[in-house]
Amino acid sequence: MKQVVPVRLLPTPEQALALADTLHACNAAASWLSEQMHTERVLRKFDVQKRFYTQLRERFGLAAQPAIRVIGKTVDAYSTLNANLRAGSYGLPGSGRRRTVENTPIVFRLRAGQPFDARCLSWQLGDAGHEGTVSIWTTAGRLRNVRIVGSRAHIALLRSRPIGETDLLHRDGVWLLHAVIDTPVTPQREPVNGFLGVDLGVVNIATTSDGDRRCGLRLNRYRKRQLRLRKRLQAKKTSSARRLLKKRRRKEARFATDVNHQISKSIVAEAERTGRGIAIEDLGGIRARVRLRKPQRAMLHSWAFAQLGRLLTYKAQRAGVVLVQVDAAYTSQTCHVCGHVDKRNRRSQAAFHCGRCDFVGHADHNAALNIAARGVKCWGEVMRPDAAPILAAS
């Protein structure tokens, strides 16, 4: 399993200047290469390297391996762009937005991240502690003994695992290294006690089939406050207001990420303790499917449910807990006791009252119980494909 380990780089002013020049050179080279690839419609990595490698090195003064990494970064960017075009992320064929994307070459920010490998960057971490040094290639020559610092757990991971590609980032005045390591996947344990269903939402970020609710009131209140502050600062249009906006731009995202980390950690720990798997809703494409009034759109589009799903997935893999995604259709309208489906069963956001058996309960808890039941069924189909229902051809 791939895991990204962040550490902070502590360069001297001279080293920081060399690192900044390196990022500028590499991203300028990537933008130039992107324009050539777009103009001549050369997108395969082997063809790009054969055609532009020499020019890239001579024009921007790059060493051999950094030039290869620039080519790889640019080719990967076009691969991602073409995948999004095929998926329809930029609209239907012939639409204005899609034509603009197709006809415009990719441009890299001068301070965008740059990947390095073992030939360009080496680590010296010692035997203990939370500090170390790195040696990294720059356009001004090799920088040696550049200090790094990180949490003890992250540095211990870097000591114990082979380090793959590492990205150099400059974010909000801070230099970072994001190293990719391979961690062994814990063998999945059979969910002998069933599944822990998790219903995701906006009012309640996560509700489990055990009845535990992670209320989103604090996060939503925080987001509304951030929105009011942004509006107030944007209306001022002064230099100090712009500086403060830039300083605060990632504050909300960091807060939401921390909340999602706490929620996912507690859910995985509970499933691991009780010998259960985790069943969550498959909410892919929800932004395109759901139509909301304008006041609700900002809340939906700032809701980091995809991030929560990713965090649950990788934490479950690391703990050896089975995680399945189930169809979310009608989970909030179905009575988990008798199976009666009716949209009138859900009287309000929180209230569920079955029209057939008169079951009364919290709507999100009822949905989580349905998700848990579907998780058991889904896992049975995974373990016994011969028992899965066969869909008739239409």
pLDDT, tens digit (0-9, with 9 covering 90-100), for 313-343: 989 998 999 999 998 888 989 999 999 999 8
The number of domains in the chain is 3
| Residue 6 lies inside a defined structural domain of this protein | no
Same domain for 379 and 285, yes or no, is yes
Whether residue 350 lies inside any domain: the answer is yes
pLDDT at 389 (0 to 100) = 45
- Residues whose CB is less than 8 angstroms from the CB of residue 304 and which lie 6 or more positions away in sequence, other chains included: 256, 257, 260
Tell me the per-residue pLDDT of 37-94, one tens digit each, with 9 for 90 and over.
999 999 999 999 999 999 999 999 999 999 999 999 999 999 999 999 998 889 888 8
pLDDT of residue 38: 95
Looking at the fold, whether 315 and 370 belong to one and the same domain comes out as yes
With a pLDDT cut of 70, the percent of the chain lying above it is 91
- b/e for 49-69, b at 16 or more Cβ within 10 A? beebbeebbeebebeeebbbb
For the entire predicted model, the pTM comes to: 0.78
CA-to-CA distance for 23 and 36, rounded, in angstroms? 20
Residue 170, pLDDT > 60, answer yes
Task: Using DSSP, state whether 294 is helix, strand or coil.
Answer: helix
Check whether residue 164 and residue 57 sit in a common domain: no
Q: Residues 110-117: what's their mean pLDDT? A: 93
Tell me, yes or no, whether 270 lies in a domain. yes
Let me know whether 162 and 95 are in one domain: no
Q: Do residues 71 and 94 both lie within one domain? A: yes
Q: What average pLDDT does this structure show over 222-248?
A: 85
- Name the residue range of residue 97's domain: 16-112
Check whether residue 155 and residue 24 sit in a common domain: no
Instruction: State mean pLDDT over 292-318.
Output: 74
The pLDDT, as a whole number, for residue 384 is 57
Shared domain check, 320 and 211: yes
Q: Which two tokens stand for residue 52?
A: 């532009």
Do 317 and 209 lie in one domain? The reply is yes
pLDDT of 394 > 50? The answer is no
CA 5, 205, 309: angle at the middle one, nearest 5? 40
- What pLDDT is recorded for position 1? 81
Contact, 163 vs 153, CB < 8 A? no
Band (pLDDT 50/70/90 cuts) for residue 292 is low
Instruction: At 108, list the tokens.
Output: 């890299």
User: 304 and 206 share a domain?
Assistant: yes
| Mean pLDDT over each residue of the chain, to the nearest integer | 87
Q: In this structure, is residue 272 part of a structural domain?
A: yes
Pair (201, 324) in one structural domain: yes
Q: Does the pLDDT at position 15 exceed 90?
A: yes
* pLDDT recorded at residue 84: 92
160 and 75 within one domain: no
Asked if residue 203 and residue 165 are part of one domain, the reply reads no
Using the 3D structure, point to which of 66, 85, 112 is the last residue of a domain.
112
Q: Are 305 and 200 in contact (CB under 8 A)?
A: yes
Q: How confident is the model at residue 154 (pLDDT cuts 50, 70, 90)?
A: very high
Asked whether residue 355 is assigned to any structural domain, the reply reads yes
- Residue 390: pLDDT band by 50, 70, 90 thresholds? very low
State residue 96's pLDDT score. 92
Residue 206 lies in a domain: yes
Q: What is the pLDDT of residues 352-378, one digit of tens each?
A: 999 999 999 999 999 999 999 999 988
Looking at 275-337, list the stretches that DSSP marks H as alpha helix, in order from N- to C-terminal side: 286-289, 294-301, 305-319
Q: Which of 18-32, 183-197, 342-356 has the highest mean predicted lDDT (pLDDT)?
A: 18-32
Among the candidates 112, 139, 159, a domain finishes at 112
Give the residues across from 182 on adjacent strands. Answer: 2
Predicted confidence at residue 382, as pLDDT, reads: 63
Domain boundary among 64, 94, 112: 112
Q: Which residues are CB-contacts of 218 (< 8 A; sequence separation ≥ 6)?
A: none
8 A C-beta contact, residue 345 and residue 335:
yes
Does residue 233 fall inside a structural domain? no
How is residue 34 written in tokens?
């992107």
292 part of a folded domain = yes
What is the average pLDDT across 293-318? Answer: 74
CATH number at residue 376: 3.30.420
Average pLDDT over residues 20-40: 96
